[in-house]
Amino acid sequence: MPYDKLTAERLAAYSDAVFAVLVTIMVLDLKVPDEPAFSALWALWPTIVSYVGSYLFIAIIWINHDHLMRFVESPTLGLIWINFVHLFLVSLLPFATAWTARSRLASSPVVFYAGLFVCIDIAYNVFERYILTHAHASQMPARVRRVARRRSLVVLASFSTAMLVAFVAPRLSFGLICCALILHLRPDART
pLDDT tens-digit readout, 16-33: 999 999 999 998 888 888
Residues in the chain: 191
2 backbone dihedrals φ, ψ, rounded to 5°: -65, 150
pLDDT tens digits, 165-187? 999 999 999 999 999 999 888 88
Query: Does any domain span residue 149?
Result: yes
Which CATH number do you get for residue 18?
A: 1.20.1410
Please indicate, yes or no, if residue 187 is contained in any of the structural domains.
no
CB 113 within 8 A of CB 97: yes
Separation of alpha carbons 98 and 94, rounded Å: 6
Q: pTM value?
A: 0.89
Asked if residue 1 is part of any domain, the answer here is no
List of E strands, 80-185: none
More confident residue, 183 or 122: 122
In a domain, 81, yes or no: yes
- DSSP assignment, residue 35? S
Mean pLDDT of 27-43: 88
Overall average pLDDT of the 128-136 stretch: 89
Structural domain of residue 125, as residue ranges?
8-182
CA distance 54 to 138: 35
* Any domain includes 3: no
Number of domains the chain is built from: 1
